Copies of this chain bind each other. A is one copy, B any other.
Amino acid sequence: MPRETVFKFNQTSPTDFRYEVKDLLPYFSEDAFIAYKSRVEAALAFTLAKRGIISQDSAAKISDAAKKVVAEEVYDEENRTGHDIIAQVNMIKKNLESEEARTAVHRTATSYDIIDSANALRLKDGFYKVIIPDMIAFERALITTAKREKDTLQIGRTHLQHAEPITFGFSIASFVSRFGGRILAVKRAVDSLEGKFSGAVGTHSAAGLFVEDPIEFENDVLGYLGLKPTEISTQITQPEPLVDLAHAVETSFSVLANWAWNMYLLQQPEIAEVSQPRGKDISRSSTMPNKANPVGLENILGHYEKAVPEMQTYYSNEISIHQRCLINSVPERYVPDFFTRFDYSVRRATRIASSLIVREENMRRNFNMSSGYITAEPLQLLLSSYGYPNAHEAMGKMSDKAYASGRPVLEVVSEDKDTKEYLGRFTQKQLDLMRNPSKYVGAAPHKAESVANSWTQKMEDLESSLRAR
């Protein structure tokens, strides 16, 4: 039977022609879904054989027959029968001659014993083998920057206004910590995905027709696949592990988007603290050949804007009436699409983060715009500690005066009769800091380094645990 083909661009969803991640297709394509469902049917057969209900040979034959099934024939058969799993079961049987084997296919199972378990399996594989490693790669690009730029002076910004000094590495370390934390959250959520093999309404009644210990039987089928059962199920597994995973991904996406926003704003030409090389992530305009548009970052932010409301559907899907209604079926079929777009964005972010150019001289230039005013904070704190009354309000006025006259705050303060006296009480070290506001970075370099080191270690541990699977 020839595989059905389509023209790549005669399609509607950009996930399939523009934002595809080929490495995920072995887990997330419809072909893959069919194959994973076959694996669950095979696991059932081997468990029946283990219990002596069918022969080991029949089980092996079922497993072989299941492997041969391809999506096209299942869809054709579904068209005839109106049911996707009946269709797949029929296609497995079609490849079997032994009557024992034929009648044993799918025995005791309800559709969602197969579907939920197959989905848990392929999500685990897709995350362990592709998405989590991709997230680690982005984390490492952040770590590299945080360490390398731990001493690179930058003006901190709050309310999009200049605040106190930081270092660029310190600002990136914040993302190291946040994104790192999210990788671990994703890992925990993937670990928690569960299968089920408890039959049509979760009571194990069908398995109970054949075995004395149907709950143990579920453990065996799932154990064969490396899955754990949900504590109690309806026709379907409990929905919370999947929504927890979606949440972990969504929050990771938010951290990614926060980083992208920052890098996007730092590339404004008047600021120009970072830049990117021309290429796929920086394009010209079709009419303005001089432009350097950070389209890669905008693409990540666009994917984020699309992704974030989709969480809503995961919450809605927690509601499945009585022993289940099928309303969640459509959204569930789009789950791989959601995770694919996230992974596409992570990969693009890694490419950008790895080639980002830090323009230290511009950071210094922008810092210098405010270096005369930065001291207002430590000045008011120290003045106040030396007994100066209402230092905050007074410094506000002197800052305004300094700004209006284009002079550093310290100069204005030094000339003020009232403050002069208090200034005389400053230690040499304090005065030195007032005169060199670029030293007012506090623990920034230290934090940048320690956070980077801590997450380097955690990523190594995580990779070990992935390899050990």
Contacts and interface: CB of A to CB of B under 8 A. Distances in A.
Contact of A336 (B10, B12, B244, B247): B12
Interface string A288-310: 11111111001101110110111
Contacts of A7: 3-6, 31
Interface stretch (A59-67, A128-136, A378-386, A461-469): A378-386
Given A71-B9, A72-B9, A305-B317, A102 B443 contact: no
A161 B293 contact: yes
Given A12-B29, A306-B334, A312-B308, A205 B286 contact: no
A24 interface: yes
Nearest to A218: B443
A257 B316 CA distance: 10
A32 to B, nearest CB: 8
Interface string A233-275: 1110010100110010011001101100110110111110000
Contacts of A451: 231-232
A1 interface: no
A38 interface: no
Nearest to A18: B333
Interface stretch (A137-145, A168-176, A351-359): A168-176
Interface string A440-469: 111110010001001000000000000000
A306 B287 contact: no
B308 A310 contact: no
Contact of A377 (B12, B103, B200, B311): B200
A12 B24 contact: yes
Nearest to A181: B240
A109 B381 CA distance: 10
Which of A110, A283, A287, A384 gathers the greatest number of chain B CB atoms within 10 Å? A287
B322 A265 contact: yes
A289 B395 contact: yes
A317 B384 CA distance: 35
B164 A203 contact: yes
Contacts of A232: 170, 173-174, 177, 447, 451
Nearest to A258: B319
Interface string A12-23: 111111111000
Contacts of A403: 290
Given A174-B233, A268-B268, A203 B156 contact: yes
A28 interface: yes
Given A315-B251, A321-B261, A381 B209 contact: yes
Nearest to A241: B181
Contact of A16 (B11, B103, B286, B311): B11
A225 interface: no
Contacts of A258: 318-321
Contacts of A106: 286-287
B443 A294 contact: no
B290 A441 contact: no
A317 to B, nearest CB: 7
Nearest to A167: B203
Q: Which of A280, A309, A454 has the most CB of B within 10 A?
A: A309
Given A103-B389, A158-B285, A240-B255, 18 more contacts: A9-B31, A11-B30, A13-B334, A83-B283, A83-B285, A103-B388, A157-B322, A158-B235, A159-B295, A162-B291, A177-B238, A181-B240, A206-B378, A208-B442, A208-B443, A265-B322, A289-B399, A302-B330
